[in-house]
Structure 1
Amino acid sequence: MEINGVYIEDTFAEAFPIWVSRILITAATKRWAKIAATEATGFGTSVIMCPAEAGIEKYVPPSKTPDGRPGFIIQICHPKKKGLEEQMLERIGQCVLTCPTTAVFDAMEDADEKVKVGFKLKFFGDGFEEKAEMYGRKVYKIPIMGGEFITESTFGIKKGIAGGNFFILADTNATALLAAEAAVDAIKNVDGVITPFPGGIVASGSKVGASNPKYKFMVATTNHKMCPTLKGKIETDLPEDVNGVYEIVINGISEEAVKEGMRRGILAATKIKGVKKITAGNYEGKLGKYQIKLRELFE
């Protein structure tokens, strides 16, 4: 199969279940809401070595937020429910509560469960916090030097999907990067998904397990067969005319959302001249139960 003249390999992206939270951060200005969202999703690229996977999903205008202020929806993801709740408490408490003028609200629809993150955060008020109902939601008002920090009492979580992915193979590194940027921009228009790596793009690539078992501290190592600089030195998976490779990883609240993100991202990438091939990463079904077949995204 070809799309816009780019070959789509007959393979699948292997994704796995993960617990997901969806949190709306608002502030007095878009600038401060963005700062809080960025801080709260830091060090959240991969659970291989990060404490959680996290990213900014989208901007929400004042007309669509509970308190009528600009906001951003973020997702925080973790393999375990307890781990997710801990990460939510730590990231909201250390990165959002500390940011000027912010408030947090639950943004998860059709949640599988609720966690009492706001209830736990209230104890930062040292007994001076106040329980209230605002905007039709049960919240806590926590006094801080900057005024009051408003947090919803409970937040919804659900079983989502992590690891939806595709690889962009192009004639040069610059072309591959341009195509990856176009893909990320297209994915931003899909509700319910995030691209957790820096700028939404994976430069490094990795494989499950380290090549040398002596290095216990290195959980995963470079995807050497996809490294252009190793062509001619090792057995490679790259065609002769490919000299640039980037990966896009997508997490989301549902399989449908991740598939749509992949579909739009691939379509955008194939429109860039010089892109030669689209493929995906999988581990022969040994990593996760979701197998998202690239060609079926366009049938």
Structure 2
Amino acid sequence: MELNGVTIDNEYAEAFPNWACRVIITAISEKWAIKAATEATGFATSAIGCPCEAGIERILCPCETPDNRPGVAVMFFAGGKKKLKEQVLERIAECVLTQPTTAAFDGMPDAEEKIDVKLHFFGDGYEYKKEVGGRQCWAIPIMNGEYVGEESFGIVKGIAGGNFFIMGETQPSALMAAEAAVEAIQNEEGTICSFPVVASGSKVGSNKYKFMAASTNEKYCPSIRDKVADTKIPEGVKAVYEIVIDGVDEASIRKATKVGVTAASKIPGVKLISAGNFGGNLGPFKFHLHEILQ
């Protein structure tokens, strides 16, 4: 199969279940909302070594936020509800409340399940309840005025690990295609790219070092193509970038994959787009590239 002259491999991405939470962060300006969102989603690329996976979903206009201010929607993914609650609590407390002019609101108000994120105790008795956009919030006095936030956040069963690989004739062409893919995905609601671009694809375990939970995926390393018998690297490919997608459901990941692959295929120098899986051993969700792009 070809798309815009680029070969699309007949492969599938393999993903696994996760719990997801969306938080809306607002501030006096888009710049400060993005700064708070960036801090809150730090060190959250992969569950292999990070406490959760997180990323910016999309930028919100004031008409989309409870307090009618500029905002950013961020999403957090974790394997269990307890872990997700811990991460959302800690990241709002340490990375959002601490930023200038910020507020935090539930991004999934219609979700059946909720987690409590109680921060008002930081007010040391000076905190008070406040209604914002029809939502019951807490206002905590801080040095630049007050931090406002909800303390109940909806969570849903999500999916982590959707992916595709972009293989290019040069490092710049492959990276440009990866950037185009991520920019396209950022316009889609319900998904994030937690890395957002992966340069060091990994596999479960290690062939040599048994104490390693994960190690380099040698099949996708162009520099050792001639040393790996079952390499996935076609001749002429000098760089590979992986796009990993977490989403609230299968439909969201399928749509994000489609727009991402399509955007990447339009960049000159891209030779092949494929996907990674572990033969069904990682998770129950399978995203077949050919099926998604038809």
Amino acid at match of 1:204: S
Tell me whether 1:100 sits opposite 2:100 in the alignment.
yes
- 2:198 counterpart (191, 202, 213): 202
**Alpha-carbon separation, structure 1, partners of 2:187 and 2:7:** 24
Report the 3-state secondary structure (helix = DSSP H, G, I; strand = E; otherwise coil) of the residue aligned with 1:232. Answer: helix
Amino acid at match of 1:267: T
Tell me whether 1:240 sits opposite 2:239 in the alignment.
no
TM-score normalized by the length of structure 2: 0.97
Tell me whether 1:279 sits opposite 2:277 in the alignment.
no
TM-superposed deviation, 1:237? 1.7
Contact 2:11 2:289 (8 Å CA) reproduced: yes
**Alpha-carbon separation, structure 1, partners of 2:119 and 2:151:** 9
Structure 1 runs (4+) greater than 3 angstroms displaced: none
TM-superposed deviation, 1:213? 3.9
Matches within 5 A, 1:257-296: 257-296=252-291
- 1:230 counterpart (224, 243, 255): 224
Q: Which has the larger displacement, 41-50 or 235-244? A: 235-244
**Alpha-carbon separation, structure 2, partners of 1:232 and 1:209:** 22
Report the 3-state secondary structure (helix = DSSP H, G, I; strand = E; otherwise coil) of the residue aligned with 1:231. Answer: helix
**Alpha-carbon separation, structure 2, partners of 1:109 and 1:14:** 29
Q: Percent identity?
A: 55
**Alpha-carbon separation, structure 1, partners of 2:287 and 2:222:** 26
Amino acid at match of 1:208: V
**Alpha-carbon separation, structure 2, partners of 1:126 and 1:91:** 20
Tell me whether 1:14 sits opposite 2:8 in the alignment.
no
Cα separation, partners in 2 of 1:109 and 1:138, compared to 1, 3 Å? closer
TM-superposed deviation, 1:242? 1.2
Amino acid at match of 1:41: T
TM-superposed deviation, 1:95? 0.3
TM-superposed deviation, 1:104? 0.3
TM-superposed deviation, 1:50? 0.3
- 1:137 counterpart (135, 138, 152): 135
**Alpha-carbon separation, structure 1, partners of 2:5 and 2:261:** 12
**Alpha-carbon separation, structure 1, partners of 2:155 and 2:255:** 21
Provide structure 1 residue ranges, at least 5 long, that are not aligned to the other structure: none
Residue-by-residue CA offset, 1:30-66 (whole Å, 9 max, x unaligned): 1111110000000010010001100011111112211
**Alpha-carbon separation, structure 1, partners of 2:38 and 2:158:** 21
Residue in 2 aligned with 1:69?
Answer: 69
Residue in 2 aligned with 1:177?
Answer: 175
**Alpha-carbon separation, structure 1, partners of 2:172 and 2:216:** 20
- 2:248 counterpart (250, 253, 256): 253
Residue in 2 aligned with 1:78?
Answer: 78
Provide structure 2 residue ranges, at least 5 long, that are not aligned to the other structure: none
Matches within 5 A, 1:91-170: 91-108=91-108, 110-117=110-117, 120-170=118-168
TM-score normalized by the length of structure 1: 0.95
Report the 3-state secondary structure (helix = DSSP H, G, I; strand = E; otherwise coil) of the residue aligned with 2:167. Answer: strand
Report the 3-state secondary structure (helix = DSSP H, G, I; strand = E; otherwise coil) of the residue aligned with 2:155. Answer: strand
**Alpha-carbon separation, structure 1, partners of 2:132 and 2:268:** 52
TM-superposed deviation, 1:109? 5.2
Contact 1:49 1:219 (8 Å CA) reproduced: no
**Aligned Cα RMSD in Å?**
1.1
Tell me whether 1:50 sits opposite 2:50 in the alignment.
yes
Q: Which has the larger displacement, 32-41 or 270-279? A: 270-279
Residue-by-residue CA offset, 1:186-229 (whole Å, 9 max, x unaligned): 111111111000xx210010011122344x2x321101111011
Aligned residues: 293
Amino acid at match of 1:227: C
TM-superposed deviation, 1:133? 2.3
Q: Which has the larger displacement, 130-139 or 158-167? A: 130-139
Contact 1:20 1:160 (8 Å CA) reproduced: yes
**Alpha-carbon separation, structure 1, partners of 2:202 and 2:19:** 22
Amino acid at match of 2:177: A
Amino acid at match of 1:131: K
**Alpha-carbon separation, structure 1, partners of 2:274 and 2:110:** 32
Amino acid at match of 2:46: S
TM-superposed deviation, 1:110? 4.0
